[in-house]
Amino acid sequence: MSTAPLQVQFGSDNQAGICPEALAALQDANRGHAIAYGRDEWTARAEEAIRRAFDADAEVHLVFTGTAANALALASICRSTDAVVCHEMAHVNVDECGGPEFMTGGAKVLTVAGEHAKVTLQAFAPRAASPHDEHASRPRALSLTQATELGTVYTPAEMRALCDAAHERFLKVHVDGARFANAVASLGCQPADIAQRAGADVLVLGGTKNGLPAGEALVFFDRALADEFRRRRKQAGQLASKMRFLAAPWVAVLESGAWLTHAAHANAMAQRLAGRLAGIPGVSLFAPVQANGVFAHLPKAAIDALRARGWHFYVFVGETGCRFMCAWDTTAEAVDRFAADLREACERHV
């Protein structure tokens, strides 16, 4: 088997490997026996580290995937007769195979449009209006993605306004934070500023895309929502028996601050890539670069040429809207090589 490193790609931040801090923590946790099902010391430390990072007395639970975390979080808010309001591009709407509907037992996902994958007050308000009779599902949760599916971020003030509007209408707020660290690093704010201080009731804090081997943390700022969560996690097959191996990487990246330095690095690589793409004929960004993704329309021939050169990435919007994600380990050299290949392909084909 070859041990040569694999080429950096721009397909997704979950194509990257495990960051060194997390890998060392796995090694360290792998000594002898520990109590199973989360009653071990690493799990307690991870939960405490998350509470400290947010300066909140939150209830914290670890699960394997973001899809499960989102669906379980929404199921902690919604009954089967309720509805979730989210952006039409939201992961919970288009990338979870009906997981939220399934885990809530039938809650309806109601979508809104909005520029750059962001929910606006104007779009949210009419969607959240209660129908007042039994023919329609009752909006009960607002789900916001931070950073968004188009690599943009909500400012603390934007989040606060949306959360206030939700709470006024008796909706709870769920934040899909698969790339929460990228948003914090981008805004230069405290984690709490775009979480409970902005009004979030439950946050899914992403680890996988930020260098963990696997795992997301559910952070219940509204502790009442966590009622029976442990049983619902078990029922969903998301209770890890060897929980210490989910938890130890969290301890390592949180206690060292690596979760934010890795995210800042990924963001910086996206900025570098955006800078390299500026001025290439036929290339146009279709979202501002505020986190670790660059979204650009490319000439179709250039897409084919890049793929023929071994680059992997997704066409995300229509036939030419491409997504380029940077990760904790994306190198400046890879960004520059990719941009040079793109420039050459575009100059040849435009």
CA distance 274 to 285: 8
Most distant pair of Cα atoms in the chain: their distance: 63
182 makes contact with ligand PLP (CB under 6 A):
no
What minimum distance in Å lies between the beta carbon of 217 and ligand PLP?
12
What minimum distance in Å lies between the beta carbon of 69 and ligand PLP?
7
What minimum distance in Å lies between the beta carbon of 80 and ligand PLP?
22
**In Å, how far from its chain's centre is CA 224?**
24
- In the shown chain, the binding pattern of residues 85 to 104 toward ligand PLP, with x for contact by CB under 6 A and - for none, equals ------x-------------
> CB-wise, 137 or 146, nearer to ligand PLP?
146
Count the residues of the shown chain that bind ligand PLP, applying the rule CB under 6 A: 11
145 makes contact with ligand PLP (CB under 6 A):
yes
Whose CA is closest to 147, among 173, 127, 176, 110?
176
Contacts of residue 335, Cβ cutoff 8 Å, sequence gap at least 6: 269, 272, 273, 276, 326
Secondary structure of residue 44 in the 3-state scheme: helix
Contacts of residue 74, Cβ cutoff 8 Å, sequence gap at least 6: 84, 92, 100, 103, 104, 107, 141, 143, 174
Which of these ranges, 2-10, 47-55, 61-69, 274-282, lies near ligand PLP under the rule CB under 6 A?
A: 61-69
What minimum distance in Å lies between the beta carbon of 47 and ligand PLP?
20
208 makes contact with ligand PLP (CB under 6 A):
yes
Question: Which pairing describes strands 172-177 and 202-206: parallel, antiparallel, or unpaired?
Answer: parallel
Q: Which of 29, 42, 46, 66 lies at the binding interface for ligand PLP (CB under 6 A)? A: 66
Contacts of residue 69, Cβ cutoff 8 Å, sequence gap at least 6: 63, 204, 216, 217, 218
149 makes contact with ligand PLP (CB under 6 A):
yes
Q: What angle do CA 286, 272, 333 make, to 5 degrees?
A: 130
> CB-wise, 91 or 197, nearer to ligand PLP?
91
109 makes contact with ligand PLP (CB under 6 A):
no
Applying CB under 6 A, the residues found at the interface with ligand PLP are 65-67, 70, 91, 145, 149, 176, 178, 208-209
